Amino acid sequence: MQSFRSEIENPLVEKDILELERKIRLFKEGQVDEERFRSLRLARGVYGQRQLGVQMVRIKIPYGKVTSEQLHRIADVSDEYSRGRLHITTRQDIQIHYVSLDRTPELWAQLEKDDITLREACGNAVRNVTASETAGIDPNEPFDITPYAHATFQFFLRNPICQEMGRKFKMSFSSTDDDTALSFMHDLGFIAKTKKIGDTEVKGFKVLLAGGLGSQPRHADVMYEFLETDLLIPTIEGVLRVFDRFGERSKRAKARLKFLVKDLGLDGFLTLVENEKRALAYQSYPIDTSDFESEITFESTEVPTVQIDNQQDFELWKSTNVIKQKQEGLFAVGIKVHLGDFYTDKARKLADLIKQYAANELRFTLRQNILIRHVREEFLPFFYTELQKLGFAEAGYDSIADITACPGTDTCNLGISSSTGIAVELERVLKAEYPQYISNKDVTIKISGCMNACGQHNMAHIGFQGMSIKSGNLVAPALQVLLGGGVLGNGEGRFSDKLIKVPSKRGPESLRLLLNDFDTNKNVEESFLNYYDRQGKTYFYDLLKHLSDTTNLVEDDFIDWGHDKNYVKAIGVGECAGVVIDLVATLLFESEEKLDNATEAFENGQWSDSIYYAYSAFVNTAKALLTSEGVKTNTHDGIINNFQETFVATNRIELSENFPALIYQINKNKPSKEFAYNYLNQAKGFYQKIDTFRKLVVEN
């Protein structure tokens, strides 16, 4: 297990992997509580699977970009530690399944050889930073957002301010007003803009705040119409600090940023962000874009000779899967990846193809697909024939027939009914019965196995959510049908209306009814959303109502798609960054670790990091004592105030000043060496006082 030490060049990464290995050992020895261990492994991309004894490992791929070398590395790891299948997520990550927990540190070390991380791919942290897959090649973009997405990923990876928040935090960057990265449904969404200031054209972003999907979708607020790029990182840090301090931590269903902003109001939240400015290490953070401006080069310039067997199929493929880049003579090629799943044999061949003929870059997309970039026009026939050999030349990239679906009951603990199974059947229906829709990119179909919306069903034109339905004493798999969602552009979007619940086996018929009605009754050039609005929700409810009748179910209705046995509703404990129950001793142990991190950061001259680690130790230590008394610890702010009322105001704990004043020095002082030194020593002194108090209580 220790053999990877000499292979890791980055000491921070080595420390991280060794810490995961150590905590696995302590957990198996019974020295670390299961719930706390879950929190730690989630922050390292290791996620419990529906099947007992194995893990899903999520590989964090910033804005979906991979090189040939990285794709080879991922394929090697999947073959060695998993089953050779790769799954592209709607956040441009890669997931592999059925991994042994004991082997995860070694797996991670192998990935890091090609600069690939698992860190914060899951858990209560900043998740993968997503972006438009056409960033840098879109003819309509004001500028390439790639370096800004990359800088955001780098700055907040392992950043102490966002390691143990109440819930996950998601960010996206859209290249154009088309908003292909879906800013309106993110905690923070950024849309590229430019603005004339005097004679200078300045780069910046429209900033969207506190959007989200799930069971209670919320449209993001406009935080700023225009934020200059130099203020991007400080603004994100301010938002994260406020979320960390005031966000809910006990009630998981209310722990996302959207609930905090709703409670505080936009103005109230922005005031708190403004109050954090003094504490930031950077008031301005210019982002160097030079590494992303290099000339596009190719390993091979010789065009291989190929024979196109069916010219009509080739032309259809070009019309649906090939995108003209802003770079003269270059094109991007979209690969429709069925359900986001592909295998390592194909991954390696694809990796070799892009290295030799396509400038060594592809991006995984938000629709669970692959986009190859920088393909010369004369090479398109060659790419078509090569992709045909891999089964990657199916027409309909990003069309209605390109259905997005989460893994559902295949591997997820929270899956209620099969999302992949119904997706397979709906794609079959579209291909066989509605070939005219293969080129339709104006309608989207998305499917989630539960209400958590990993498949983004509640922002689709046509969405399906996995459910169950009763018929007498029996339970059948079901689908909630949703209509009317979509991306409107420039930070605007709409969420789908919940229409009706039907048995899963009637899902295909519901799709037929909807498409047939649309084809028959729409006005000329009328979009699906306009048609839906004109007809109204009740019209579509009446259209599908007869499908919801459960008095006439047959035997097949009780068998879910992709299964051969009767449906059993089985929901496990979800690990989508759920808040965990902390034991007092574990909390105090963690406070010691935070103080060690603060000391190390101080010794390395990282004043801001040291201060935030010390702040976390203060709060964590106070939380331990409040937990021992059964006092609420829902938010950091609540912990600080409750500790004052419970222990300081009652003279049970004596401090030189009230506890909030002690803690909130953090946002009243610049992150200087002197303040970092004093604050760290105060945190150490506070811990020693609480540890002594706790030992006396336990002994008595």
**In the 3-class helix/strand/coil scheme, how is 7-28 assigned residue by residue?**
HCCCHHHHHHHHHHHHHHHHHH
What does the alpha-carbon distance between residue 162 and residue 574 come to, in Å, rounded to a whole number? 21
Starting at the edge strand that comes first in sequence, how are the strands of the sheet with 330-335 ordered?
65-66, 362-364, 370-376, 330-335, 322-324
Q: pLDDT digit string (tens) for 55-112?
A: 899 999 999 999 999 999 999 999 999 999 999 999 999 999 999 999 999 999 999 9
pLDDT for residue 67? 97
- Other CB atoms closer than 10 Å to residue 280's CB: what's the count? 20
Residues of the chain with pLDDT below 70 are 1-8, 410-411, 413, 569-583, 698-700
Residue 188, strand partner residues? 171, 209
User: Which tokens hold the place of 129?
Assistant: 């930073």
* 3-class secondary structure, 544: helix
Q: Are the CB atoms for 421 and 348 separated by under 8 Å?
A: no
Q: Are the CB atoms for 618 and 597 separated by under 8 Å?
A: no
Alpha helix (H) residue ranges in 604-668:
607-628, 636-643, 659-663
Burial (Cβ within 10 Å: 0-12, 13-18, ≥19) of residue 49:
buried
pLDDT for residue 578? 36
Angle at 580 between CA 574 and CA 582, to 5 degrees: 155
What does the alpha-carbon distance between residue 361 and residue 578 come to, in Å, rounded to a whole number? 35
Residue 656, strand partner residues? none
pLDDT for residue 569? 67
- What is the residue-averaged pLDDT of the chain? 91
Q: Are the CB atoms for 603 and 654 separated by under 8 Å?
A: no
Burial (Cβ within 10 Å: 0-12, 13-18, ≥19) of residue 643:
buried
pLDDT for residue 33? 73
* 3-class secondary structure, 65: strand
Q: Which of 3, 145, 120, 163 is nearest to 63 (CA)?
A: 145
Q: pLDDT digit string (tens) for 196-253?
A: 988 999 999 999 999 999 888 999 999 999 999 999 999 999 999 999 999 998 888 8
pLDDT for residue 610? 96
The backbone region for 445, taken as left when phi is positive above 0, alpha when psi lies in -120 to 50, beta otherwise, is beta
- Other CB atoms closer than 10 Å to residue 351's CB: what's the count? 23
Q: Are the CB atoms for 592 and 687 separated by under 8 Å?
A: yes
What does the alpha-carbon distance between residue 75 and residue 61 come to, in Å, rounded to a whole number? 14
**Terminal-to-terminal C-alpha distance of the chain:** 43
Q: Are the CB atoms for 269 and 242 separated by under 8 Å?
A: yes
Total H helices, total E strands in the chain: 20, 22
pLDDT for residue 4? 55
Q: What ranges make up the beta strands (E) of 389-540? A: 404-405, 445-448, 462-471, 474-483, 486-489, 492-494, 497-503
What does the alpha-carbon distance between residue 350 and residue 72 come to, in Å, rounded to a whole number? 9
Q: Which of 250, 273, 248, 271 is nearest to 259 (CA)?
A: 248
Would you give the DSSP letter of residue 430?
A: H
pLDDT for residue 460? 95
Domains of the chain are 2-112 (3.90.480.20), 130-291 (3.30.413.10), 296-389 (3.90.480.20), 404-558 (3.30.413.10), 584-699 (1.20.120.330)
